[in-house]
A and B are shown apart, each in its own frame.
Chain A
Amino acid sequence: MAALTVPARSPRLAVWKALLIFAPMVLITLFLWVPKFTTGDPLITIVVALTWITFSALFFLMLITGKTHRYRSILFILVAISLPIEFIPWMIKTYGSMALTNEIMYSGGASFCPLTMPMVIVPALLKRVVIFPGELLPTGAHGAFAVMFIIWVGATLSLGRGWCSWGCFYGGWDEFFSRLRKKPLIKHQQIDRRWIYLPFGILLAIVLLSAITFAPIYCEWLCPFKIVTEFQAPATILAIIQIAIFIVLFIALVIVLPLLSKRRIQCGLFCPFGAMQSFFNKLNIFGVRIDPDKCSECELCLHTCPTFSLDEGSLASGKPLITCTKCAQCIDTCPKNAISYHIKGTPLKASPAVARVLYLYPAYILLLSLSGETVAPALLRILKLITTGSLL
């Protein structure tokens, strides 16, 4: 690896330019959040305003500093940490605990999450049946199938696998632990790159097994994030084994390994939904490109990419693997500003600043929209805890 030279100036925007880009976003997001601001409850108005102001401020900083990843990461982590603060008390208030009993499942009480998409697609296409114990349409509960499906389609069309760094309300956990240490204990060279095929293997296995067994196999056996949402009641030995598995997976893949490696291990080396989204990266209009004229092949991007989406081949071809989540860590890290967002069909040298803004718009809107369902309600619960002594 070549010694680092003095980093090039980050692509900061002049204030007036940043304001020019920021202003439409303010208008759009205020318009989208009018229903949230006008509930009539002053407490809700305060938390919604706080959320909107925080997110908007960080978006403005993103624009003016030219640093995408740093501020995206804060918002992304906020969304992930907020989810259990909102969801777990809701589960306890509605059902008495986080555990899903047979009664809850037969009543359609399980909350649908986008990670189930790979498993439900084949039965839905072939038999028009959704193999998940939830609701099809929202009746006031969290996560109806139709709602999650529409969000998934919208996010996938606009961002491809950018969902994994701008939309996923679990990925922030992985990201949080991966950012705690200053230096990795498990270095990039110590991780066999062939592990990046594991998510695709899991994807193939769960699609086949779920189609044959008509059960959401990943949810039942492999999802580590049940620990922050809901899980099957430990009423049988089988259920206890399943609970033990997801606890071990969460500790290993979401806490320990990201902490030691400074990489998003669960997202990059395990998640089958991310693997599925990778295929949509091929169709998505946005990508990330490396300018070979500027690239000094220092390989800093390879060593920092959180999802292992850059390799020596990427430097040669000028683009990351299809697993790229468009998190912008490589863009912000590159000392030569050789990496940028890119719109397919446009010349490589076409203004990267324009491509960045055109990407940030849908990405930030998605992130803000999700914050309205997670961060604002979580803040409300925290305020309720402070004022009433209860999260419920």
Chain B
Amino acid sequence: MAKLESFLGYSIAVLSGLIAIITFPAIGALAEPFITTTGLTLSPNYTGGEVKQMIDHGGYRTQVHRMVFDDTLIGERKEGFIQVNWTPLGALPARIDEEIDADGDGQADFRVEVNTANKETTLTPYAAWVLGLDGTYKLEESLMIRVRLRNTSR
């Protein structure tokens, strides 16, 4: 028994050395399968959640993400947000004026006017559960706003 334990001990010790050797080279081969197999995603608090609507305006595209209330471990929050991105296909217009249907019921829930040069934004809520503008952000490839919402679905 003692000999078996010793043998196992030394074997695992050697294996540890092998694991250390292959760890860094294995990153390239393992990284993508790891993410795909586990189905891990980044928190919607950072990504804004999946894109629900894409509206092509010719020179630019509007991407309306889903409403995010579920960036919590269990259940949903009582307040959340919706993210809207404008991605230029050529260049963004100087001014964007658009009505957004947040809950996908076919009716606009708020109107947003954005000066794309200085990010000055005016939000006009059409529904009581649209609480206000969280911020306007200039990302590398798009302009983005987040609008705070109250969770009325529950």
A–B interface present (Cβ within 8 A): yes
Report if B27 contacts A (CB, 8 A): yes
Report if B140 contacts A (CB, 8 A): yes
Q: Once the chains bind, are A358 and B42 in contact (CB under 8 Å)?
A: no
User: Nearest Cβ distance between residue B9 and chain A, in whole angstroms?
Assistant: 3
User: Nearest Cβ distance between residue B152 and chain A, in whole angstroms?
Assistant: 21
Closest to A134 in B: B42
CB-CB under 8 A from A153, the residues of chain B are: 23
The digit string for A200-214, where 1 denotes a CB below 8 A from any CB of B, is 000000000001101
Q: Once the chains bind, are B43 and A131 in contact (CB under 8 Å)?
A: yes
Report if A59 contacts B (CB, 8 A): no
Report if B34 contacts A (CB, 8 A): yes
Question: What's the Cα separation between A358 and B15 when bound, in Å?
Answer: 10
Question: What's the Cα separation between A154 and B18 when bound, in Å?
Answer: 10
Q: Once the chains bind, are B73 and A123 in contact (CB under 8 Å)?
A: yes
The digit string for B1-37, where 1 denotes a CB below 8 A from any CB of A, is 0100110111011101101111111110011101100
**Interface of chain A residues 334 through 377 with chain B (CB within 8 A):** 343-347, 350, 355, 358-359, 361-363, 365-366, 369, 372
Closest to A365 in B: B20
Closest to A210 in B: B73
Report if A77 contacts B (CB, 8 A): no
CB-CB under 8 A from A344, the residues of chain B are: 9
CB-CB under 8 A from A103, the residues of chain B are: 137-139
Report if B41 contacts A (CB, 8 A): yes
Known: A103-B137, A124-B40, A136-B40. A149 touches B34 (CB 8 A): yes
Q: Once the chains bind, are B23 and A151 in contact (CB under 8 Å)?
A: yes
Q: Which single member of A131, A137, A212, A369 contacts B23 (CB below 8 Å)? A: A369
Closest to B70 in A: A127
Q: Which single member of A147, A211, A366 contacts B31 (CB below 8 Å)? A: A147
Question: What's the Cα separation between A32 and B26 when bound, in Å?
Answer: 11
The digit string for A126-155, where 1 denotes a CB below 8 A from any CB of B, is 111111111111100000111101110111
Q: Which single member of B10, B72, B144 contacts A214 (CB below 8 Å)? A: B72
Q: 29 A-B residue contacts at CB 8 Å?
A: A102-B135, A105-B46, A106-B47, A106-B144, A108-B46, A124-B38, A129-B40, A130-B42, A131-B43, A144-B31, A147-B27, A150-B26, A150-B31, A154-B19, A154-B20, A154-B24, A155-B20, A155-B23, A158-B17, A158-B19, A211-B73, A285-B9, A285-B12, A343-B10, A345-B9, A346-B9, A358-B10, A359-B13, A366-B20
* Further contacts, 16 of them, CB under 8 A, given A103-B139, A136-B40, A154-B19: A32-B25, A108-B46, A122-B73, A124-B40, A128-B40, A132-B42, A147-B31, A149-B34, A150-B23, A150-B30, A158-B17, A214-B73, A215-B45, A359-B13, A369-B20, A372-B24
8 closest cross-chain pairs (CB), A and B: A154-B23, A345-B9, A362-B20, A345-B5, A146-B31, A158-B16, A361-B17, A358-B13
- B: residues with CB less than 8 A from A are 2, 5-6, 8-10, 12-14, 16-17, 19-27, 30-32, 34-35, 38-48, 71-73, 135, 137-140, 144
